[in-house]
A and B are shown apart, each in its own frame.
Chain A
Amino acid sequence: MLANRKVLKKVFPTLFRDYGVSPVDHYAQALLATLRALSPPNASGRHEPKVVLLTPGVFNSAYFEHTFLAQQMGIELVEGRDLLVHENVAYMRTTAGLRRVDVIYRRVDDDFIDPLCFRRDSTLGVPGLFNAYRAGNVMLANAIGTGIADDKAVYAYVPAIIRYYLGEDPILANVQTYLLTDRSQRNYVLEHLDELVVKAVGESGGYGMLIGPHSTAEQREEFRQRIVAEPRNYIAQPTLSLSRAPCFLDGEAQARHVDLRPYILYGENVTLVPGGLTRVALRRGSLVVNSSQGGGSKDTWVLRA
């Protein structure tokens, strides 16, 4: 998002002046404020809680983003070996001695974050970190276990979650989502495979998907067998006609499918960044916008009223 905006500003400076595009540059600052607001119950007591970004290291494909964010926020970029836990308190190793750490913005997966608790063979994590967290001496963002939201089946329950916790109806309707563990829903899906999109619940990046209208009979048969074997592993949704936006490709303007990733930060308050990442399916007709499958992206504007 930030890089897209930077490029576009360089290429079309006058557009920004004339249209009143809301700036997104404060994203890093808002993220830092959100992280600081997470300060743990037993913080170290200094004015500002000490925030660090925990990265798996230079070999991670998102390492550039980690260094960029750490630099923009002005916080330390640490690896697992820079941190240690002593008597349930997390420290980082600095040249001036050990410094207490209050909030860890971690970009290391749950499984790898603490070899004493989760995967024993992990060298990316910090032994004892989970205990420090449990003792209230350090906060992790996102919290351990939030990965459950990546399970696509959770999405089907979102309206029910809103009604239960907030006692109100959702303002935005869900996309109709079929849970394949339910017999009648499953039967419906199996009969309409050529109209629906089937997604594996644990996959991301546009993998493990069947797009009914674009599929062959063999592919549908393959997914039918997979669904029958492991219904919990899949959900189905109607094929959406994604919005299209003009893209300048091969020297001419062409239409491509897009979707929008908003950036929402939830700390003391909810901050909605007036911009976002518009993902573009670069292949003509394709509905797969994921960058890992060659999707592109566009700068996204919110205009000042």
Chain B
Amino acid sequence: MSGQRETTMLSRVADSLYWMSRYLERAEHTARLIDVDFQLRLDQSPEAGAGRWLRLLEASQVAPPEDGKIDAATLTQILTLDRSNPSSIISCVSAARENLRQVREQCSTEMWEQLNRLYLQVNSTTSSEAWLLHSYIFFRAVQEGAHLFQGVTDSTMSHGEGWHYIQLGRFVERTDALARLIGAHFKRLPQSPDQSVENEEYLEWVGLLKSCAAFEAYCKTYTAELRPLRVAEFLLLNSNFPHSVRFSVDMVHSALRAIGELTERKAEQPLRLAGRLRATLSFSQIDEIMASGPTAYVDSIRWQCAQAHTAIHQVYFDYSVESALVA
């Protein structure tokens, strides 16, 4: 053993940081989805939104109401302030804070204060008709709060093992959420995906891009002419845009590589699984994906992502005694 102080991180601490980060990413994602929906509603007739709302519920893993009927107010309520829904914004922010509280001494004071501030803000919000009318302010605040937390984290916390678990949580969650959202959108495969879309359809595709914070970045790459094929290519395979699946998987992979080096467990299962997923995305062609069915493709990504998540748990957080007697 070298003379340097060995760095040790308790599994419980790593687990809490990972989940804190996942929950916060989920809250931010949900806030963006509803925010975009709120903006789209302004341009559409009330009937046109219903399909999208069901898609939103599906993308948020909430079971749709039995009669299949849903309106904007109910949707907003379920996804934001409904504590009985574990993936509502209020539930996610509370869970993120609870996780960070358990390992309070592992993060910087600035991080704790920022997350606590967001929590207090979300928690003091009560639903009302007036609130619903102006709820976009709330969604913006949640997104900004989460962004601020990320910035504070990056600039006040050592970029050591703990920080990598935060990165890992964020991008595992993002990979899964993006894949789910894209999957829900491509269920109805457009007739000719390489043709530009118009009118009502156009709004839906703008909505998808905006839900991934990707509209401006897409326009810079492909101009404002929206073709489903290009949207899919951009959101799945672009390597530079932070809300693309490929970018997220790259980040998962590099976080796992760093953790592998720090814990001296390089050849472990999570890194191999993430590496395979990364290779899949690096070498995929969008034509082939569209030809063989984009939903099957994103399902496979989600499945591989879930496998990596399970492996992370088994290797770093919750391993058996026999497998881990090292020193």
Contact = CB atoms under 8 A, between A and B. Distances in A.
B14 interface: yes
Interface stretch (B33-41, B246-254, B319-327): B319-327
A97 B259 contact: no
Interface residues of B, number: 25
Contacts of B316: 95
B104 A67 contact: yes
Given A44-B327, A58-B101, A70-B105, A96 B8 contact: yes
B104 A76 contact: no
Contact of A95 (B101, B259, B327): B259
Contacts of A81: 12
Contact of B326 (A58, A76, A97): A97
Interface in B283-327: 316-317, 319, 321, 324-327
Contact of A94 (B1, B10, B105): B10
Nearest to B102: A58
Interface in A89-105: 91-100
B12 A77 contact: no
B161 interface: yes
B8 to A, nearest CB: 5
A94 B11 contact: yes
Interface in B97-118: 101-102, 104-105
A82 B264 CA distance: 20
A82 B9 CA distance: 11
Contact of A46 (B1, B8, B12): B1
Q: Which of A81, A86, A98 has the most CB of B within 10 A?
A: A98
Among A78, A93, A95, A100, max chain B CB count under 10 A is at A95
A76 B321 contact: no
B128 interface: no
B78 to A, nearest CB: 31
Interface residues on A, range: 20 to 34
Interface string A88-132: 000111111111100000000000000000000000000000000
B326 A93 contact: no
A15 to B, nearest CB: 28
Contacts of A70: 105
A68 to B, nearest CB: 8
Interface in A44-72: 44, 46, 58, 67, 70-71
B256 to A, nearest CB: 12
Contacts of B10: 76, 78, 82, 92-95
Nearest to A93: B11
A260 B327 CA distance: 44
Nearest to B10: A82
A95 B161 contact: yes
B8 A76 contact: yes
Q: Tell me if A's interface is mostly helix, strand, loop or mixed.
A: strand
B12 A98 contact: no
Nearest to A89: B325
Nearest to B1: A46
A95 B1 contact: no
B196 interface: no
Contact of A99 (B259, B264, B326): B326
A95 B105 contact: no
Given A95-B161, A97-B326, A82 B105 contact: no
B263 A98 contact: no
B159 interface: no
B265 interface: yes
A129 B283 CA distance: 52
Contact of B265 (A71, A84, A96, A99): A96
A49 to B, nearest CB: 13
A174 B325 CA distance: 52
Contacts of A91: 321, 325
Contacts of B265: 96-97
A82 B8 contact: no
A58 B97 CA distance: 13
B158 to A, nearest CB: 14
A265 to B, nearest CB: 23
A99 B12 contact: no
B10 to A, nearest CB: 5
A97 B265 CA distance: 9
Contacts of A58: 101-102, 104
Nearest to B3: A47
A82 B324 CA distance: 14
B314 to A, nearest CB: 12
A97 B105 contact: no
A132 to B, nearest CB: 14
Contacts of A79: 12
- Interface centre among A58, A76, A93, A96, by most chain B C-beta atoms within 10 angstroms, is A96
B321 A67 contact: no
**Residue of B9, B161, B324, B327 most packed against chain A (CB within 10 A):** B327
Nearest to A63: B104
22 contacts: A46-B1, A58-B101, A58-B104, A67-B105, A77-B105, A81-B12, A84-B321, A86-B321, A91-B325, A92-B8, A94-B11, A94-B263, A95-B9, A95-B263, A96-B8, A96-B9, A96-B264, A97-B263, A97-B325, A97-B326, A98-B327, A99-B327
Interface of B: 1, 8-12, 14, 101-102, 104-105, 161, 259, 262-265, 316-317, 319, 321, 324-327
Closest 9 CB pairs of A and B: A96-B263, A97-B326, A97-B324, A93-B11, A67-B105, A95-B316, A94-B8, A98-B324, A95-B9
Given A95-B11, A99-B8, 14 more contacts: A58-B101, A78-B10, A84-B321, A86-B321, A86-B325, A93-B10, A93-B319, A94-B11, A95-B10, A95-B14, A95-B259, A96-B326, A98-B326, A99-B326
